[in-house]
Chain A
Amino acid sequence: GNSVTQMEGPVTLSEEAFLTINCTYTATGYPSLFWYVQYPGEGLQLLLKATKADDKGSNKGFEATYRKETTSFHLEKGSVQVSDSAVYFCALTGNTGNQFYFGTGTSLTVIP
């Protein structure tokens, strides 16, 4: 079946530090992979996505590369800001069916 595992938080970083949030997946076929971000008190927003192996999704300084050989889609940012404090969710959708599968979320706090 399909599932997503992401690193547990919470993660606390100083401003301008390097961020990595690990995400691995199990899926049949060729899934599309996503990172969503949830700011306090809000719904989820799409941060970036990749639809096939070796694709790199990027947005707002965040990047993630679809690695089929390691079944991973790790989120990275070179220099985090206080405004990046949020909960980050890794997700996948299969190439059949309409369901999304979400990880449990990783809370990030960036301190000045």
Chain B
Amino acid sequence: DVKVTQSSRYLVKRTGEKVFLECVQDMDHENMFWYRQDPGLGLRLIYFSYDVKMKEKGDIPEGYSVSREKKERFSLILESASTNQTSMYLCASSFRQYTQYFGPGTRLTVL
């Protein structure tokens, strides 16, 4: 059974904190993705990675960075959290352009 896990379901942080969101997949997928989901805006792609140590900016990369040191793990970093980064964050993985598999999501609140 395919599995994508995210480090936290709920997270509360303060403005200015550095925040790490981690995602792990056990399917040996090449591609991994980070999205944020906001009401009325659907899913917006933040960053994706098609190989270890490789990354590409998505539609809204500002204020975020990513790290992929191992194939199964893709981390999203908020360098200095701000209130407008309060959102649901979804991680996904895929083999090439085929089906994306999603984790359960992390609901982040920045106070």
Contacts and interface: CB of A to CB of B under 8 A. Distances in A.
Contacts of B102: 36, 43-45
Interface in B28-64: 30-31, 33, 40-43, 45, 48, 50, 58
Contacts, number: 54
Contacts of B65: none
Query: Size class of B's contact patch?
Result: 20 to 34
Contact of A34 (B41, B50, B58, B99): B99
A49 B99 contact: yes
18 contacts: A32-B97, A42-B105, A43-B102, A44-B43, A44-B92, A44-B100, A44-B102, A45-B102, A46-B99, A89-B42, A93-B98, A95-B97, A98-B50, A98-B96, A98-B97, A100-B45, A100-B92, A102-B43
Given A34-B99, A100-B45, A102-B43, 8 more contacts: A43-B4, A43-B103, A43-B104, A44-B43, A44-B100, A94-B97, A98-B31, A100-B100
Interface of B: 4, 30-31, 33, 40-43, 45, 48, 50, 58, 90, 92, 94, 96-105
Interface of A: 32, 34, 36, 42-46, 49, 89, 91, 93-100, 102-105
